Structure 1
Amino acid sequence: MASQSSLAVVLHFVQSYPVPILLSILAFYLLRNKYGKGISQIPGPALAGWTSLWRFNNVREGRAHWTIIDLHKKHGKLVRTAPDVVDVADPAMIPVIYNIKGDFTKTGFYPIQSISWKKKPRHNLFSTRNEAFHREDKKKVANAFSMTSLLEMEHAVDDCSKLFMQKLRDFPDKGETVDLGAWLQYYAFDVVGEFTFQKKLGFLEKGGDVDDMIKTIEDILFYSATIGQVPELHPYLLGNPILPHLLPQMEAWNSVLTFTLKAINSRTSLARDGEISTSDSSSGKDMLSRWLSVKATDDLKISTEEIVVHLSANVFAGSDTTAIALRAIIYYLCKNPSCMSKLIKEIDDNEYRLSEFVSYKESKDYLPYLNAVLKEGMRIHPSVGLLLERHVPKGGVVISGTWIPGGTKVGVNAWVLHFDERVFEEPERFWPERWLTSDEKKLAEMEKSFFVFGAGSRTCVGKNISLMEMGKIIPQLLREFEIELVNKEWRTKNVWFVQQSGLDVKLKRRARKSNLSS
């Protein structure tokens, strides 16, 4: 009876004072966020310590990389951007946070970017938080991403370059302006298609989006970037496990997955139970052929699910990031005519050494200024523009001289490191010569802050694809065309990838020198 009486009193109190009770709960929640996380001494925006909504809104606006750069200039190496998040601007912490052991585990931001297939989320090398799973999964596919393996398909990249040049020649012939940024993405898509499926994806031939894949990627990136700042919302939104059962058609919304399944079916077949047939596996050097061959030999070495996941991840990430880098390189060369002239001279002076389509080896061996240009383009405009988040291990750790408790989210943003004037003199200046310095100490310092592909065990697995494309297509473009910007400035938006638009140019054909030695 006494307990019932006490319950009645509590219920009466709640019914009588609902607003004060709710306000008290909210106050407790906010105070715990601000002062109960063990990082209240770390400076940052006034609202950031109280709620994750400051971070959510900052990312939603699409300029988060510039905001964070400014905050570090104001506050130093450590900035608190949410109740449990600390942004780190210290290259010395890269081997600590992104170590080979993987004890700084990925946060809830990453699983949002997994695909849903057969009504279940399927994690890839990027999205998984399980370090053991990542190690085992990477062993199965890493060889296909090695430069040695990719060079076996260099002729396929040349085929894409040939088609790309043919398509671009129409524009100067007709005196038309070309959105070169869009065409660079079409090129990147088709190259990824060759590496992945041994066929172009059709972007260059069409001169436009295929099956709405570009639009799909943009939508996924925006959702992942914004909801990723408050990942606890994801299970109630697109991550709701009931949703695929209520709306089985939602898997078709991801046109990248749909295209991947279609590409697989054009080469082999997926049975009703979802298993892939290996009877049609070929001796090709593309990734689908390689993995089908492995599966045909030993079904336990790689599963159908893993093949589907890795192939779709290639299409999703391999095109956009490379296209962003290519746009940046062209844009900043056009904005800096002296750099453009110097690079063209280097290419022309080595014409007798270069193949009809520049090989990757030739670009590395004979074009040092080109390689400095490529690196500077990636430095001044990294493809990824948000924090590469990790959880501090249990027990806490000292980061940049400050003790950070276990469970706190920490990480480094490439933009912050690349615009640190203590490491990169005049960081907003496009200056390829900085990478050609004879000062070995300075060069080593810059290399330690170069964070385009991440670091540690989670270094971008596809970086060799990107490096090969850039080393081949940039000199090819400049051999064939003079490029002039139509717009003085482009537009950028940070949706996890820092995408650009407005790279409209006028092309003029160049007279190629003979590539025969005199």
Structure 2
Amino acid sequence: MMKDPVFSLHTPTGVQNILTADRPTHTRQRRLLSHAFSEKALREQEAIIQRYVKRLMEQLALRSGEGPQDVVRWFNFTTYDLIRDLSFGEQFGCLENGEYDPFVQSIKDISKELTMIQMFKYYELLGLRRFFMPKAIAGTRAQNMQRVIQTVDRRVKSKTNRKDFLHYILAAMETDKGMSRAEMDVNTFSLSIAGSESSATLLCGFVFYTLTHPTVYQKLVTEVREAFQSEDQIVMANVHHLTYLNAVLQECLRVYPPVAVTLPRVVPEGGEVIDGGYVPAGTTVGVNHFACYHDQRNFYRPNEFLPERWMPGAEDETSLFSHDQRNCLQPFSLGPRNCLGKNLAWAEIRLITVHLIYLFDMELDRSVGDRWTERQKVFGFWDKPPLLVHLMPKHKTTM
């Protein structure tokens, strides 16, 4: 089933990118971008990823004596700086300066603008949007598109051999299967948002849910600190096998999916049979992540944070979780349009969470309470309030 054109997120310039493209265009673009997100490329980029992870830890340690830190900001600084460096080979300085770059600062407004445009399209009122779109968010995508074009210009002119994401695209531009410059711009624009906001959101969910569940937090501390004798041992090859950490992260993705909305498709001509029932052509269909993951038909005690449902043995007939429909958890989507950056996301999330648990004792500030997620709204992404955390260094970070 093709993407529903009513809800398709058109790019600021109207050129198709990997998120909005028709099938042939998507296949061509994904083939080019897949090299940048391969396991081989990821291993080559580990030193860059580690540099940003360690700089985050240094900043948190340096500022820990100043009082509780808003980790929403610090995670956004880190994931954004990282994806932009991996894309362009430039350092943007959010993490270094502790301040938002104009691009990342406007992501919240971009999400709101996109959501409102979808609603105007659905009700066939696009011509009236200028009368109803709040001035604070109108045009934010176009402004950020210009920032991206300027950044891509600098990267193209640099003539570097560094194997960042654009290296693989530029290498194919002279062929008939390459990307046009306009396609390069819109794909870079989307990767800069999707590659930073979703990872930062999961990291925030990890901190909130572990710190509001002391037993979970203590189990994590035990697993991580027994697994590593020094910070230098915390590398990509050593973090993927931490059983309880993986269970906690899976449960965070279930209760607080970074993409909590429906990604709509449209039923083609002739209609389709879905779950035993006929659905006529032209019907908008999709799976809402949040609703699916919180349905008691899919998960035992769905509104509770229970990482044990992802532990070995949880599928046994005697387990409380034996009837959980684990395969319905698809936070990165699935099929030919699944998340291209899944491997990168897992690498940076595991490295950051393990470093945090190893280097700091953490405690939520009293002002946060236990209802942080309940105060949030969704505009494509979660609109997150501050998440204040007290951090007490346990080990000195290594350079």
Whether 2:5 is the aligned partner of 1:115: answer no
Please list, as runs of the form range in 1=range in 2, the aligned pairs for 1:324-343 lying within 5 A after superposition: 324-343=201-220
Deviations 1:24-68 (A, max 9, x none): xxxxxxxxxxxxxxxxxxxxxxxxxxxxxxxxxxxxxxxxxxxxx
Whether 2:243 is the aligned partner of 1:359: answer no
Please list, as runs of the form range in 1=range in 2, the aligned pairs for 1:188-207 lying within 5 A after superposition: 188-207=79-98
Contact 2:81–2:95 (CA under 8 A) maintained in structure 1: yes
In structure 1, which of residues 183, 188, 198 is the aligned counterpart of residue 74 of structure 2? Answer: 183
Q: CA deviation at 1:320?
A: 0.8
Contact 2:108–2:383 (CA under 8 A) maintained in structure 1: no
Q: CA deviation at 1:414?
A: 0.9
Give the percent of matched residue pairs that are identical in Structure 1 and Structure 2.
27
Deviations 1:450-507 (A, max 9, x none): 1211122211222222111111100101111111111103231110112322311111
Which residue does the alignment assign to 2:249?
A: 374
Please list, as runs of the form range in 1=range in 2, the aligned pairs for 1:109-508 lying within 5 A after superposition: 109-116=6-13, 121-128=14-21, 130-174=22-66, 176-211=67-102, 213-232=103-122, 233=124, 235-236=126-127, 254-269=142-157, 280-295=158-173, 298=175, 301-352=178-229, 356=232, 358-365=234-241, 367-440=242-315, 446-486=325-365, 487-488=368-369, 489-490=371-372, 491-508=375-392
357 and 497 in structure 1: CA distance in 2 versus 1, 3 angstrom threshold: farther
Output the CA distance in 2 between the equivalents of 1:443 and 1:161.
37
User: What 5-or-longer segments of structure 1 have no aligned partner?
Assistant: 1-103, 240-249, 270-279
364 and 112 in structure 1: CA distance in 2 versus 1, 3 angstrom threshold: closer
Q: Which amino acid aligns with 2:162?
A: G
Contact 1:324–1:499 (CA under 8 A) maintained in structure 2: no
Q: CA deviation at 1:208?
A: 1.8
- 2:354 is paired with a residue whose SS is helix
226 and 265 in structure 1: CA distance in 2 versus 1, 3 angstrom threshold: closer
Output the CA distance in 1 between the equivalents of 2:106 and 2:64.
31
Contact 2:299–2:323 (CA under 8 A) maintained in structure 1: no
Output the CA distance in 2 between the equivalents of 1:410 and 1:496.
17
234 and 470 in structure 1: CA distance in 2 versus 1, 3 angstrom threshold: farther
Q: CA deviation at 1:332?
A: 0.2
Which residue does the alignment assign to 2:133?
A: none
Q: CA deviation at 1:396?
A: 0.9
Q: Which amino acid aligns with 2:107?
A: I
Q: CA deviation at 1:268?
A: 3.0
Which residue does the alignment assign to 1:94?
A: none
Deviations 1:367-419 (A, max 9, x none): 11111111111111001122110001111112223211001001101111211
Q: Which amino acid aligns with 1:221?
A: S
Output the CA distance in 2 between the equivalents of 1:328 and 1:268.
37
User: What 5-or-longer segments of structure 2 have no aligned partner?
Assistant: 131-137
Q: CA deviation at 1:265?
A: 2.9
Output the CA distance in 1 between the equivalents of 2:151 and 2:109.
22
138 and 443 in structure 1: CA distance in 2 versus 1, 3 angstrom threshold: farther
Number of equivalences: 381
Q: Which amino acid aligns with 2:334?
A: A
391 and 182 in structure 1: CA distance in 2 versus 1, 3 angstrom threshold: same
Moved more, 176-185 or 250-259: 250-259
Q: What TM-score, normalized by structure 2, do the two folds share?
A: 0.88
Deviations 1:172-191 (A, max 9, x none): 233x2211111111111011
Output the CA distance in 2 between the equivalents of 1:192 and 1:162.
15
- 1:295 is paired with a residue whose SS is coil
252 and 184 in structure 1: CA distance in 2 versus 1, 3 angstrom threshold: closer
Q: Which amino acid aligns with 1:417?
A: C
- Rg larger in structure: 1
Q: CA deviation at 1:157?
A: 0.7
- 1:484 is paired with a residue whose SS is strand
Contact 1:110–1:127 (CA under 8 A) maintained in structure 2: no
Output the CA distance in 1 between the equivalents of 2:355 and 2:294.
30
Give the alignment's Cα RMSD to 1 decimal.
2.5
Output the CA distance in 1 between the equivalents of 2:162 and 2:129.
37
Q: Which amino acid aligns with 1:505?
A: V
Output the CA distance in 1 between the equivalents of 2:6 and 2:205.
26
255 and 154 in structure 1: CA distance in 2 versus 1, 3 angstrom threshold: farther
Q: Which amino acid aligns with 2:339?
A: C
Which residue does the alignment assign to 2:134?
A: none
Contact 1:115–1:123 (CA under 8 A) maintained in structure 2: no
Contact 1:357–1:476 (CA under 8 A) maintained in structure 2: no
Deviations 1:311-337 (A, max 9, x none): 111112111111111100110000001
Q: Which amino acid aligns with 1:391?
A: V
Q: What TM-score, normalized by structure 1, do the two folds share?
A: 0.69
Deviations 1:134-168 (A, max 9, x none): 12221222221223322210110111012111211
Q: Which amino acid aligns with 1:260?
A: V
